[in-house]
Structure 1
């Protein structure tokens, strides 16, 4: 049976599995080498120098390309390194249209680094085709989408944006970190490039820093491959192995992440200290129908607003099972305060206009038992209420 006929759960479990007759190893080894012998002048084994191509990294990159239905994969030293590599496709004077509710690190890269080289960006609701058209300029080269967005879970119709982009000769780049190829494959919907912070759901254990790029089309793949090699922000053999190990259980973890997230989001939506919950898995979420149409499941992260900003500090201080920490996508549940953590580099007036204000908390729901997570949230919310009502909020 070929990999093409296998369902995604089987392909994930078999990443790096080899049929090697000498040792019988079922896991691809870590080739901790930077240089490779040439058989003779003008000949190569396919590996020359580890920055260009490494055996362990190559197995990971091939798996990423197959999972996302792409033509080539590129493993980078972080999610931001993956974005930097992709953005190097553009030149001074080029303009990008980018999702309005954007991860703060991507905003920082665009506004504080790429802007130095004359690359500009407009931030719009990418689900609004009229807004996209109004933002398009002669120098516009690409549309960059997060869907769902981080942290407000705004959902973009990928097919509609890709169709619009192709009409105008624009590349469509999709950050697929929050859903992973297990639940969503943007290249199948018309996108040109997919990027991941593989640190998150793909790695899944808060123990490896990595990024992935997957491209569609021979010419684009060759161009990104040239940049990947030239920039050199590539993933090490050890981290490539670690990431593959995490990806083997992606299907199991994503199913638990989404079921836990729905349970926790449903609980918080009814809580008197919670004003609003942002999660595409809830039927009343504005992007619920689009999400169901283009994805086979939901992410394990959502955000919520408390009714009073004074609750935030005592909630974070009172959590016991859930960690107050700045990441997402791991098996352990984490809570983050975007206004001063993940989105601190976005100016306050821009953040607050989108909805990232001082009442917003982001919750990366892990794979613990949902009843234990609910109990921890309940006691933290109650501790905050008693402290604030007692006039002791610090």
Structure 2
């Protein structure tokens, strides 16, 4: 049958062989996926390991990235989402219902707390707040269904008492979800992180950070070892229409091979900055879990036994320096750019007023404005020189 040129263009045969060996896997861009026959259509199930049925369920490109993220984190199953927050919301939507109690660390990622407060006001979920370094502050009731963990915590970087928190949650049959963005699957194995082979139930990871590495891709993941948990998450994933593009997946996949090198380099630079920052009289406190003076140092050391740490360090300025003075400092920085996130090649800075962020009293934190430094791939001495010159612009 002779076809019209327009029809022939749409149905053109792919004469070139489709399978070659390359360093990077091929990119599949798909919404519609063509079934070879009706048997292929009907003899499949959404719980199949690789269910190629529609683009939202996965393609070879997205499944390959998911498999690699699961391997990095020590899990068996991975779902991908358009952002880290989207992955967090997937977990909350999947495992929380009216009347349930969820426990959240006071130093948890702010948007997660905001999302849970929204669920609390609209759908009758009870949000309880605990101190990540004080396991006694976690007092679950029989309604508790989910415990959120973050290692280390956002902004103030306390490393939680992960071992005892997970033990307590398991004793009370509470699901444990770890925001593992800081550790990135490299600092410790969330599914086997102690001599007692303790494991969280699932991890959430903002692939936007270290896996992407370029500061230009938004993506998140949810990883678990348990097939039943994975199927529950996968069903909610499908119901909510969560999907990522093949191009974004390929970009993250391309960056994975250098992730550990970048992570170690940024962590090494952060430790150099930590040493220098502690010599500066202008700071009331320098915050980093690898610092022996840090209140959560012991928890970090017993969990991160390879002594890995991310490229983040925070400082609290002495109380006599107000927000105006801190803004002068941040505006004077040249190599550090003002922006959220971390894990990219460019160092970032962000300032916070802890009084607006914390609900519990934390005696281990000094009073003052906090500034967080997210280390990029610049030379450590250059970054220190940038901080040094910016400090000269501060007025009391």
Would the TM-score normalized by the shorter structure come out above 0.5? yes
1:118–1:42 distance in 2 versus 1, CA, 3 Å? farther
Report the Cα offset of residue 311 of structure 1.
2.6
1:379 aligns with 2:376: no
2:146 matched to which residue of 1?
142
- Structure 1 stretches of 5 or more lacking a match? 1-19, 390-394
1:43 matched to which residue of 2?
40
1:322 corresponds, among 336, 347, 363, to: 336
Map Cα deviations across residues 271-304 of structure 1 (whole Å, 9 max, x no partner).
0111111101211111112212211301111210
1:110 corresponds, among 101, 109, 116, to: 116
Whole-angstrom CA distance in 2 between matches of 1:187 and 1:60: 19
1:352–1:382 distance in 2 versus 1, CA, 3 Å? farther
1:299 corresponds, among 276, 293, 310, to: 310
Whole-angstrom CA distance in 2 between matches of 1:142 and 1:152: 23
1:75 aligns with 2:80: yes
Whole-angstrom CA distance in 1 between matches of 2:83 and 2:356: 26
1:1-394 → structure 2 map (5 Å cutoff): 22-44=19-41, 46-88=51-93, 89-113=95-119, 115-133=121-139, 136-189=140-193, 190-295=199-304, 296=306, 297-307=308-318, 308-309=321-322, 310-339=324-353, 348=356, 350=358, 353-354=361-362, 359-384=369-394, 388=395
CA contact (8 A) 2:210 2:342 kept: yes
Report the Cα offset of residue 46 of structure 1.
3.6
The structure with the greater share of residues assigned to helix is 1
Could you tell me the TM-score, scaled by structure 2's length?
0.86
SS of alignment partner, residue 352 of structure 2? coil
Q: How many residues align?
A: 359
SS of alignment partner, residue 187 of structure 1? coil
Map Cα deviations across residues 217-272 of structure 1 (whole Å, 9 max, x no partner).
11111111111111122221111111112222111011111111011111111101
SS of alignment partner, residue 234 of structure 1? coil
CA contact (8 A) 1:301 1:329 kept: no
Report the Cα offset of residue 79 of structure 1.
0.6
CA contact (8 A) 1:103 1:150 kept: yes
1:218–1:46 distance in 2 versus 1, CA, 3 Å? closer
**Greater alpha carbon shift after TM alignment, 318-327 vs 286-295:** 286-295
CA contact (8 A) 1:335 1:362 kept: yes
Whole-angstrom CA distance in 2 between matches of 1:357 and 1:254: 31
SS of alignment partner, residue 373 of structure 2? strand
Map Cα deviations across residues 344-368 of structure 1 (whole Å, 9 max, x no partner).
xxx8273684559761111101121
RMSD (CA atoms): 2.0
1:7 matched to which residue of 2?
none
1:237–1:349 distance in 2 versus 1, CA, 3 Å? closer
SS of alignment partner, residue 337 of structure 1? strand
SS of alignment partner, residue 223 of structure 1? helix
Whole-angstrom CA distance in 1 between matches of 2:174 and 2:204: 17
1:261–1:348 distance in 2 versus 1, CA, 3 Å? same
Whole-angstrom CA distance in 1 between matches of 2:19 and 2:254: 22
Whole-angstrom CA distance in 2 between matches of 1:262 and 1:349: 26
Whole-angstrom CA distance in 1 between matches of 2:130 and 2:189: 23
Whole-angstrom CA distance in 2 between matches of 1:79 and 1:358: 29
SS of alignment partner, residue 43 of structure 1? helix
Whole-angstrom CA distance in 1 between matches of 2:238 and 2:19: 33
CA contact (8 A) 1:77 1:233 kept: yes
1:203–1:103 distance in 2 versus 1, CA, 3 Å? same
1:220–1:325 distance in 2 versus 1, CA, 3 Å? same
Could you tell me the TM-score, scaled by structure 1's length?
0.86
**Greater alpha carbon shift after TM alignment, 370-379 vs 183-192:** 183-192
Whole-angstrom CA distance in 1 between matches of 2:302 and 2:372: 25
SS of alignment partner, residue 358 of structure 2? helix
CA contact (8 A) 2:24 2:254 kept: no
Report the Cα offset of residue 112 of structure 1.
2.3
